Amino acid sequence: MEPLKIVIIGGVAGGATAAAKARRTNESAEITVFEKGPYVSFANCGLPYYVGETIRERADLLLQTPERFWKRYRVRVLVRHEVLRVNRSTKTVTVRNLETGAEFQHSYDRLILAPGAGAIVPPLPGIDASNIFTVKTVPDSDAIRTFLLQHSPRRALVVGAGFIGLETAEALKRRGLDVTIVELVDQVLPSFDPDMAALVAMHLQEQGLKLVLGDGIRAFHTSNGMAREAELTSGRRVPCDLVILSIGVRPELNLAREAGLEIGKAGGIVVNERQQTSDPDIYAAGDAVETLHLVTGTRMRIPLAGPANKQGRVAGANAAGGDLRFVGSLGTAIVESMGITAAKTGLSIREALAHGFEAFESVIHPLDHAEYYPGARPLHLKLIVEQGSGRLLGAQVIGEDGVDKRIDVLATALMARMTVTDLEQLDLAYAPQFSSAKDAVILAGFVAANTVRGEVRTITCQEVLDKIAAGETFQLLDVRTPQEYDDRHLPGARLIPIDDLREHLHELDPQQETVVYCKSGLRGYLAARVLLQHGFSRVRNLTGGILICPEGSPPET
């Protein structure tokens, strides 16, 4: 029998992984990879750090070369070869050699699509200026580094405050540039809840980054082929010597569409658990495919390296005759910028409500390790919890240290469909330099489980502010110290420190709705328990305390 002919379109995470797994599954298969770029496999998540010279050698970004692929796996890799067309009726692909312009046909028995996604470049006036870049490929990053060396820009404008935007902003700031970030929505990290994103924004501004939130780019004004000013939709103009676009990515779907493969409602290639498309001999993996979200059960696009690698592994194995499954993703992601780390898994509260869940949020602010051990830093941890069942739906963690550990524990809990009462029972490692006896995740479980069991009802900062703005009648009780109260308090709040509360109960109306708050939520919880056991039936504690109520950072600094 002729050996099985496997053709893979695209490299990087999905395609390169598929090629290696296909070889491990089938030693006799003939495997060919066509990659239109100059590199078959590179660490695109490391590109901002290459721009910032944390990673100094570009060779460190190149995970595999065509020569190494052939030597170890006997996989033929042709870079600078673009597949123009998939001919399903003849089971061939039409390929163009981008160096010579020559075109040829190559047959396949099984085909794997891993075309990835391209950086979004909106059709704005001046967008073709020579000092406007994206950060999606190694050549992109090379071009930025060359520009920095040759032109010594002073002012950088980063468009987009998502993960890549914040990483690139840090890279440029570390290189001495004056950096302004412009984001269309009114917060950094748009996938996070606004109160958590505000904590990140505050830190970034303290570290010298300038933020312009809730404003977009209308046009770039150029001189001698370079963008000199960005005109915002508000009319404001921001001077710039260098512009980085990090608006997002758009899946490369042309080949799939022209081949008649099914494209889903989320705008990606439809695949099953085996990564098969609507054509059983064609598989797909990576940023161009739709993925089952493991919390909502809906199909969505999750352009992250982790899912792409796992999908590529499954596609490669199955195309070569194996039988693996990819069950879906939680969208777990993490970013660090200017010393602050933010991570998310599962759903935000906005996403949970939008998908029809009856959910509440629970926020705590523990230290990353034991307070008595030097160097303890605060964490900000939010759980999204289904009402009634207590099932964990999502989590967000922000801090300087220990964020990765907590988000990975919570992502594992989400995979296992655990409840917050399950989190209470976790047995996690403890030594004072790593954690506390009650780790942040366990403590978060305690607090959220108290709400599930009905020991306390909670309210969010936004709900409190909405009640105040609407002129509703309720008792707003601040149970911190007089000094804390004088430093800052919510409008209309009455001060009764927690240690004095029992002596002043007669001054409060037990029939009226009462909202209690402190700095982080603990003293508020204690106050709520006191009030509930003294006949106050309508008591709610501000989850996360006043710490989760930003004082109102201006949208620009």
CATH code, domain carrying 474: 3.40.250.10
Amino acid 60: pLDDT = 83
333 in a structural domain: no
pTM for the complete prediction? 0.93
Q: Are residues 472 and 535 in the same domain?
A: yes
Clarify whether residues 9 and 114 are in a common domain. Answer: yes
Residue 330 belongs to some domain of the structure? no
Token code pair at residue 256: 């799939």
Q: Do residues 210 and 188 make contact, with C-beta atoms less than 8 angstroms apart?
A: no
Supply the pLDDT for residue 439: 96
Parallel, antiparallel, or unpaired for β 132-134 and 155-159?
unpaired
- The b-or-e profile of 182-211 (16+ CB within 10 A means b, else e) is bbbbebbbbbbbbbbbbbbbbbbbeeebbb
289 falls within a domain: yes
Claim to verify: residue 435 and residue 362 sit in the same structural domain:
yes
Q: Establish if 328 belongs to a structural domain.
A: no
Tokens coding 163: 């993960």
Distances (CA, A) of 449 to 6, 244, 364: 51, 44, 13
Active site residues: 45
Write down the pLDDT at residue 1: 62
Q: What is the pLDDT of residue 556?
A: 36
The answer to whether residues 168 and 48 touch, using CB atoms and an 8 Å cutoff, is yes
Compute, in degrees rounded to 10, the torsion defined by CA atoms 144, 145, 150, 151: 50
**Mean of the per-residue pLDDT values of the chain:** 94
Residue count (the chain): 557
Claim to verify: residue 108 and residue 140 sit in the same structural domain: no
Are both 17 and 74 inside the same structural domain? yes
Rounded to the nearest 10°, the torsion over CA 493, 495, 499, 502 is -80
Residue 503: DSSP 8-state? G
Domain end (from 218, 247, 276): 247
Say which DSSP state 490 is in. -
State the Cα–Cα distance between residues 533 and 50, nearest whole angstrom.
59
| Residue pair 332/302 in contact by the 8 Å Cβ criterion | no
pLDDT of residue 551: 67
Residues 271 and 351 in one domain: no
Q: Is residue 553 part of a domain?
A: no
Could you report the per-residue pLDDT of 411-458, keeping only the tens digit for each?
Answer: 999 999 999 999 999 999 999 999 999 999 999 999 999 999 999 999
The answer to whether 70 touches 77, Cβ cutoff 8 Å, is: yes
DSSP string, 189-224: STTS-HHHHHHHHHHHHHTT-EEEES--EEEEEEET
> What is the model's pLDDT at position 553?
35
Give a yes or no: residue 329 inside a domain: no
Domain-terminating residue out of 419, 452, 485: 452
Q: Please state the domain count of the chain.
A: 4
Q: Of the candidates 422, 452, 482, which is a domain's last residue?
A: 452
- In 3D, which of 111, 99, 101, 90 has the Cα closest to residue 31? 111
* pLDDT tens per residue across span 330-380: 999 999 999 999 999 999 999 999 999 999 999 999 999 999 999 999 999
With bands split at pLDDT 50, 70 and 90, how would you rate the model's confidence at 161? very high
Residues 38 and 77 in one domain: yes
Residue pLDDT, tens place only, 10-31: 988 899 999 999 999 999 999 9
Domain identity same for 240 and 388: no
Residues 380 and 291 in one domain: no
Verify that 242 and 274 share a domain, yes or no. no
pLDDT given at position 555: 36
- Do 51 and 113 have their domain in common? yes
Whether residue 537 lies inside any domain: the answer is yes
Q: Is residue 127 part of a domain?
A: no
Q: Do 170 and 230 fall within a single domain? A: yes
Here the CATH number for the domain that contains residue 371 is 3.50.50.60
Cα–Cα distance for residue pair 208/211, rounded to 1 Å: 10
Percent of the chain with pLDDT over 70: 99
pLDDT digits (tens, 9 = 90+) for 215-269: 999 999 999 999 999 999 999 999 999 999 999 999 999 999 999 999 999 999 9
Q: Which residues of 45-83 are buried (b: 16+ CB within 10 A; e: fewer)?
A: ebbbbbbbeebeeeeebbbbbbeebeeebebebbbebbb
Is residue 93 very low, low, confident or very high in pLDDT (cuts 50, 70, 90)?
very high
Structural domain boundaries enclosing 95: 5-118+250-319
